[in-house]
Amino acid sequence: MDLQLTDRVFVVTAASSGLGRATATQLVAEGAKVVLVARRGDVLDEAVAELGSDSAVALTADLTAVETPAQAARLAVATYGRLDGALISVGGPPAGPALAMSDDQWRDGFESVFLAALRTIGAVVDHGTADDLAIACVLSTSALSPIGGLSISNGLRPGLAMLIKQVADEHGPDGTRINGLLPGRISTERVQYLDSLADDPEAARRGSAARIPLRRYGDPDEFGKVATFLLSPAASYVSGSLLAVDGGALRAL
CATH architecture of 9-245: 3-Layer(aba) Sandwich (3.40)
3-class state of residue 137 by DSSP:
strand
Longest dimension (CA), the chain: 51
pLDDT digit string (tens) for 215-237?
999 999 999 999 999 999 999 99
The domain limits of the chain are 9-245
| Mean pLDDT for the stretch of residues 12-18 | 94
**pLDDT greater at residue 224 or residue 253:** 224
Give the predicted TM-score (pTM) of the model: 0.95
Quote the CA–CA distance of 68 and 147 in Å, as a whole number.
30
Answer whether residue 189 shows pLDDT above 90: no
Quote the CA–CA distance of 197 and 182 in Å, as a whole number.
22
Dihedral over Cα of 33, 39, 41, 44: its sign: negative
Percent of the chain's residues with pLDDT above 90: 89
Quote the CA–CA distance of 233 and 3 in Å, as a whole number.
6
| Mean pLDDT for the stretch of residues 198-217 | 92
Quote the CA–CA distance of 115 and 110 in Å, as a whole number.
6
Answer whether residue 191 shows pLDDT above 90: no
Residue type, 141: T
Cβ–Cβ under 8 Å, residues 143 and 184: no
pLDDT digit string (tens) for 120-164?
999 999 999 999 999 999 999 999 999 989 999 999 999 999 999
| Mean pLDDT for the stretch of residues 87-93 | 91
pLDDT at 194: 80
3-state helix, strand, coil in the chain (%, to 5): 50, 15, 35
153 Cα distance to chain centroid? 14
pLDDT digit string (tens) for 121-133?
999 999 999 999 9
- Residue 192, CB half-sphere, CA atoms under 13 Å: how many? 7
Cβ–Cβ under 8 Å, residues 212 and 246: yes
Q: What are the b/e assignments for 50-76, b being 16+ CB within 10 Å?
A: ebeeebbbbbbbebbeeebbbbbbbbb
Answer whether residue 197 shows pLDDT above 90: no
Residue type, 229: F
Cβ–Cβ under 8 Å, residues 106 and 159: no
For residue 242, CA distances in Å to 28, 92, 158, 199, 207 come to 24, 19, 11, 33, 26
